[in-house]
Amino acid sequence: MALSTIRTVNHLLKPFTAATRRLSSDSNATINVEISKPYTAHNIDPPSSIVETTPNELMTFFSDMAEMRRMEIAADSLYKAKLIRGFCHLYDGQEAVAIGMEAAITKKDCIITAYRDHCIFLARGGGLVESFAELMGRKDGCSKGKGGSMHFYKKDSGFYGGHGIVGAQVPLGIGISFAQKYNKEDHVTFAMYGDGAANQGQLFEALNMAALWDLPAILVCENNHYGMGTAEWRAAKSPAYYKRGDYVPGLKVDGMDALAVKQACKFAKDHVLTKGPIILEMDTYRYHGHSMSDPGSTYRTRDEISGVRGERDPVERIRNLILDHNIATEQELKDIEKGKRKVVDEAIAKAKEIPMPDPSDLFTNVYVKGFGVEVFGADRKELRSTLP
């Protein structure tokens, strides 16, 4: 549906009059918005398509997504300049999933994802400097320069990575949700994966256990429609991923709409705390290729990519809502984006000044202290068993 057709409830009830009265951008006055694409449910009644928001929330969404978008564009340039090495998977286009999910939960709730993880880290409260430092392998990165693009972590905010093995993060996420229930916590875990990983056997094994034990687990399939270079319909006999749980309820969500994602995640959190797991399929899209080695235009047309940008871009959707409700002007929003470019450039400059890890650090964080064998020194000559 075109952006021009997005309607608010106020439009439906009375003539639009927001242009005559400027709403404060930091106001917490309630705005009711009707999402443009209804939820599709499996074995459950869907949440309301009317979502409550505020001017303050919409401005925060716009600012945060503008920062994420700029960070990923900058990462593209850094990779091409060979300042980022190894694998690098960018998230631009999918920002609404990270933003909407974070708006629905607290830092006590946990998230674990695959290798497209930069923006999830930012949403969980991570900083730009430690992000770029990690991307460039510097010692002050969020994983001490050892993880790179695929292994961002922020344990103090409940973010458990950043994992490179396709689908392997899902059983780990179910384990985290098991711990939450075992410890009688009132929190949940979001285990995220892509449409390519949706066919992995370990996902179904983990889901089976989560359902048996009514664990507070939300499985989030970020369906960007291409697993590496393979379209979903070529890889999956049934690409309706929200139904894949069979006995587990599911919900298909417009993953390009931050408000739709927020509503769905709130709904899912309430459900799993009392009734066990649920699957959320986020219908989203990545603008870049699968990774930096993939131009992203050999298996899909440029018209397809530009069409999604023109019709469904998550940043533009929020921009239009802000303008429609006279919360900020077009120029003020452009100034925010300009400011984000400056902030990102400054973070890159600081990250470049951070030194690489010392070679001896290669042998730290290999074993848990007090378990098995500890390795001392960089030459591997001095070994000592810590077992009795």
Rg, the chain, Cα only = 22
Contact 264, 258 (CB under 8 A): no
pLDDT in tens, 274-324: 999 999 999 999 999 999 999 998 999 999 999 999 999 999 999 999 999
- Residue 19 in any domain: the answer is yes
User: Tens digit of pLDDT for each residue in 141-181?
Assistant: 999 999 999 999 999 999 999 999 999 999 999 999 999 99
- Answer yes or no: is 380 within a domain: no
Q: Give the structural domain span for 224.
A: 3-357
The pLDDT tens digits for 179-188 are 999 999 999 9
CATH number at residue 298: 3.40.50.970
- Convert 132-153 to b/e letters by CB count within 10 Å (16 or more is b): bbbbbbbebbbbbbebbbbbbb
Q: Is residue 382 part of a domain?
A: no
Let me know: does 280 contact 207? Beta carbons within 8 Å: no
**pLDDT tens digit sequence for 211-239:** 999 999 999 999 999 999 899 999 999 99
For residue 374, is it within any domain? Answer: no
Give residue 112's Cα distance to chain centre.
10
Does residue 350 have a pLDDT over 60? yes
Does residue 93 lie within any of the structural domains?
A: yes
Give me the pLDDT at residue 11, please. Answer: 37
pLDDT at residue 4 tops 70: no
Averaged pLDDT score across all residues of the chain:
91
Torsion angles phi and psi, residue 247, rounded to 5: -80, -5
| AA identity, residue 292 | M
Q: What is the pTM of this model?
A: 0.89
What is the rounded CA–CA span in Å between residue 162 and residue 89? 11
How many Å apart are CA 199 and CA 213, to the nearest integer? 22
Total number of domains in the chain: 1
Q: Answer yes or no: is pLDDT of 131 > 70.
A: yes
As given in the structure block, the two tokens for residue 381 are 């000559």
Residue 381 lies in a domain: no
Q: Is residue 373 part of a domain?
A: no
Task: At 94, list the tokens.
Answer: 């999918």
**CA–CA separation, 369 and 287 (whole Å):** 43
Q: Does residue 368 lie within any of the structural domains?
A: no
Q: How far is CA 37 from CA 40, 106, 132, 260, 329, in A?
A: 9, 26, 35, 8, 26
Stretch among 7-11, 39-43, 70-74, 345-349 having the lowest mean pLDDT: 7-11
Question: What pLDDT does residue 97 have?
Answer: 98
